[in-house]
């Protein structure tokens, strides 16, 4: 098989960028000033186009 199995708790059910942001940063509205909270999470993208689109949200 050419597939790598992933644990179900890391599979994102939504295909929208807001769903991705909410999944990675579930308490962002409350903890946006907590540097430890922010540095423990990351969203990686292949191209700057995707990075810029996510940052605009």
Q: What is the pLDDT of residues 25-34, one digit of tens each?
A: 898 889 989 9
Q: What is the pLDDT of residues 13-23, one digit of tens each?
A: 777 888 888 88
Position 49 pLDDT exceeds 90 = yes
- At residue 35, the 3 state secondary structure works out as helix
| pLDDT, mean of residues 2-19 | 84
How far is Cα of residue 24 from the mean position of the Cα atoms in its chain?
A: 4
Position 11 pLDDT exceeds 90 = no
Q: How many CA atoms lie within 13 A of 13 on its CB side?
A: 3
């Amino acid at each position: 098989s050419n597939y790598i199995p992933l644990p179900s708790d890391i599979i994102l059910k939504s295909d929208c960028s807001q769903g991705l942001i909410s999944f990675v940063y579930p308490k962002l509205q409350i903890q946006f000033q907590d540097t430890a909270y922010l540095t423990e999470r990351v969203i990686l993208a292949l191209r700057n186009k995707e990075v810029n689109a996510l940052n605009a949200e």
